[in-house]
Amino acid sequence: MNHFTIVMEFLRNRQRFLKEVDQGIRIDIKIISLLIASSAFFGIYGGIIGSFSNPLQIISSAIKLPALYLLTLLICLPTLYFYEISSGSKRSFGQYLALLLAATSVISVMLFGFA
């Protein structure tokens, strides 16, 4: 399956995507695809932003922007998970990861679109 298809599926039919995540359908594929797609879009956007300076800045920005968003996600995800578990949520760690990656993917698509 094409990794970008998952992002387009989320953008076109959000309710079905969220229902599949809630039911745990193909969570591992969704996580990998959303991670790859968001990294690619953030990398392209970072490269475009870095192109206004010297050529090394293109590479630097293309690496830094995906790293910034994904490291922020990795730092905040455990706190969100433990807070939700203590509040009585029944979702798994993978489901939370898929939901946050879906939100991050939407941000990356929007940034890419406005670049």
| Token pair recorded at residue 54 | 């010297």
Domain annotation covers residue 22: no
pTM above 0.95, yes or no: no
Domain annotation covers residue 11: no
Domain annotation covers residue 102: yes
Distances 74 to 24, 36, 78 between C-alpha atoms, Å = 20, 15, 7
Distances 97 to 11, 39, 74 between C-alpha atoms, Å = 17, 15, 9
Domain annotation covers residue 7: no
Res 3: pLDDT: 85
The sign of the dihedral angle between the CA atoms of 4, 7, 12, 15 is positive
Res 76: pLDDT: 94
Mean pLDDT by 10 residues, the chain (115 residues): 87 95 94 96 94 90 94 94 94 95 95 90
Domain annotation covers residue 10: no
What values do phi and psi take at 91, rounded to 5? -75, 150
Domain annotation covers residue 92: yes
Q: How far apart are the first and last CA of the chain?
A: 27
Res 1: pLDDT: 57
Domain annotation covers residue 52: yes
* Count: domains in the chain: 1
- How far is the C-alpha of 82 from the C-alpha of 41, rounded, in Å? 29
Its domain, for residue 84, covers: 28-114
Domain annotation covers residue 90: yes
